[in-house]
Amino acid sequence: MNTEKLPLRKNVLGIVFKGDEFLIVQKQYYKDNEWSVPGGGVEKSEKSEKALLREMKEELGTDKFKIIKKSNITYEWMWPMENIERRKYKWKGQHAEIYIVEFMGNKKDIKKQKDEIRKVKWVKKEELKQYLIFQNQYKTITKAIKGIK
């Protein structure tokens, strides 16, 4: 399969914070040491902000999120060929817009969607490096949160 002709999937990511902690998620298909920030794909004709709030409500079971601002930083990544073929993706990777999001609820309000999210965790900014291990993930996320904390 030639993936060069495949487009990038439009995606949104939310850097969710409460106080001095950030929310990270481990998707079901991730390895034990792989984590991300919440988010997901943007449907056709859907606005990015609406897609982000929809994805977070679906994955985290609450709508107690307030978008603070859209970052001028974006994050792009390509999927390994075996993932594209195994999952029959129509895309070669994703291009994500990043938003800074404040969680307005209590931590117990978060009820992860078990078929998509294995674990959720609140971590301090200095702990992010040990969890955000995908290529350029840590660098991109910390660049996007510069100035808010």
- pLDDT for 4 equals 78
Question: What ranges do the domains of the chain cover?
Answer: 8-145
3-state SS assignment for residue 100: strand
Q: Mean pLDDT of residues grouped by 10 in the chain (149 residues)?
A: 84 97 95 96 95 97 97 92 84 95 97 95 97 95 83
- Calculate the CA dihedral of residues 91, 113, 118, 123 and round it to 10 degrees: 100
Rounded to two decimals, what is the model's pTM? 0.91
Give DSSP secondary structure letters for 46-101: --HHHHHHHHHHHHHS---EEEEEEEEEEEEEE--HHHHHHHT-SSSEEEEEEEEE
Of the CATH numbers 3.90.79.10, 3.30.465.10, 1.10.1660.10, 3.20.20.150, which one belongs to the domain with range 8-145? 3.90.79.10
- pLDDT for 128 equals 97
- pLDDT for 1 equals 66
